[in-house]
Amino acid sequence: MIAEIGIAGIALAFVAALIAIPASIIGARRRNDSLILSGRNAALLTFPMLLLASAALLVALLTQQYQIAYVWQVSSPSTPSFFRFTALWGSQQGSLLFWCLLMSLFSFVALIVNWNRYRPLMPYVTAYTMATVAFFVALVLFFENPFERFWITPDLPPDAGVPTYAFIPPDASAPSYRLMAETARGLNPLLRHFGMIIHPPMLYLGFVGFVIPFAFAMSALASGDLSSSWIKATRRWTLIAWLFLSLGLILGGRWAYDVLGWGGYWGWDPVENAAFLPWLIGTAFLHSVMIQEKRGMLKVWNMFLVIFTFSAVIFGTFATRSGLVESVHSFAQSSIGMPMFAFWGGLTLISVYLILLRWRQGGLKDEHAFAGLLSRETLFVLNNVVFVALTLAIFWGSFGAPILSELFAGTEITLGAEYFNSVTAPLFIIMYLLMGVAPLSAWGVRSDLPPFK
């Protein structure tokens, strides 16, 4: 019964998200308040449905329902209760469900908190958040369902332990709870650490939190409302996501120091770097958005930064969960690689197209030009350039060079810590210098040097 409840919750969340998308878009285009409200209500329904599914999986873990394949994979009779709780996000299927739950929670809160203040944008925000939620829920429902059950068929010897995966028991078969309990795998030993309790939730909150700034930016592009409204709406959400992601990275470093034996907190592991990339771009956005608020500048740049922050989140998730790179942090290779790559590619291309379209139409024209080289906005932009350079250098070393080498030369290569330390050290030094100088300058200050263009 627990499995049926969980599957029903996931399925209802998927249907609700699919309803919310066209209802919100059509309602906004036709100025139909009833459709807009229907889309909002459907979107709000996704969170309680995914909460129900997550609660069902947690109950299955705590009550040792080993006929559910996920429970058998991540727990055993000897697993302590608090690790049964953390097993909710201990493997591919459960962590994807947890990801969906947190994303729907952010969407739920954003729709309630921002609905009246940013009403013209909210139908589009609903559509973009629900499109993202629907995609990830579809992955859970059709590719990585944590409620899949398996059964031991009677014609096999009792000690064979060969499971048959199915949602419904195969003909003439019955579950063997005793055998399932005896052969249960239990949680990966590397995950039996206090960091498992707080590191993944913090990291996931940081990742999925960026869906709200992304949705507001895309809503501004889609609706044509390119005023400062979307900036005001996203700044707080970006700070929240950035804070959680920062905590997740710090806690992950501590965990790595205790468990992995790297002799330090950061090993330039590809999956570590994948989590660091959105942090770098998000940090650049938090700084450059101040220039748009104060001076009405960098409108195109900020659009690219906020959208590529979320694009980096999706790419990092794809790299971690598809088996693209080998890492102690990676999940096992699965069938979600191609759908995730297609989603990431489509999301990025559509976003870039909308930015360029609005730019050509003049909707993203800056209100002021840059002043002298020593003005605060110029120094902030230089710091942004350093952040982007760090992002590109780390991306190249983690993914670009290894992937291209394997594709064109048939050789697997890995760029080690020496590459990252040598390339990033000068950039970090420049960044620290600019961080010290920029707050001492003023907005719009001109110098004797030629204007920076």
Asked if residues 423 and 397 have their Cβ atoms less than 8 Å apart, the reply is: yes
* Alpha-carbon span 303 to 102, nearest angstrom: 24
* Alpha-carbon span 359 to 8, nearest angstrom: 44
* Amino acid symbol at 368: H
Which position has the higher pLDDT, 114 or 85?
114
**Residue-level pLDDT at 314:** 95
DSSP percent split of the chain into helix, strand, coil, nearest 5:
70, 0, 30
Mean pLDDT of 351-379: 83
Please give the structure tokens belonging to residue 322. Answer: 């598809």
* Alpha-carbon span 187 to 330, nearest angstrom: 15
* Alpha-carbon span 229 to 164, nearest angstrom: 54
Asked if residues 350 and 424 have their Cβ atoms less than 8 Å apart, the reply is: no
| C-alpha separations of 269 from 191, 226, 393, 413 in Å | 17, 39, 14, 13
| Segment 214-238, tens digit of pLDDT | 999 999 999 988 888 899 999 999 9
Which position has the higher pLDDT, 183 or 248?
248
**Number of Cβ atoms within 10 Å of the Cβ of 165:** 10
**Residue-level pLDDT at 449:** 47
| Segment 384-412, tens digit of pLDDT | 999 999 999 999 998 888 888 877 877 77
| Segment 93-122, tens digit of pLDDT | 999 999 999 999 999 999 999 999 999 999
**Residue-level pLDDT at 178:** 53
Asked if residues 373 and 449 have their Cβ atoms less than 8 Å apart, the reply is: yes
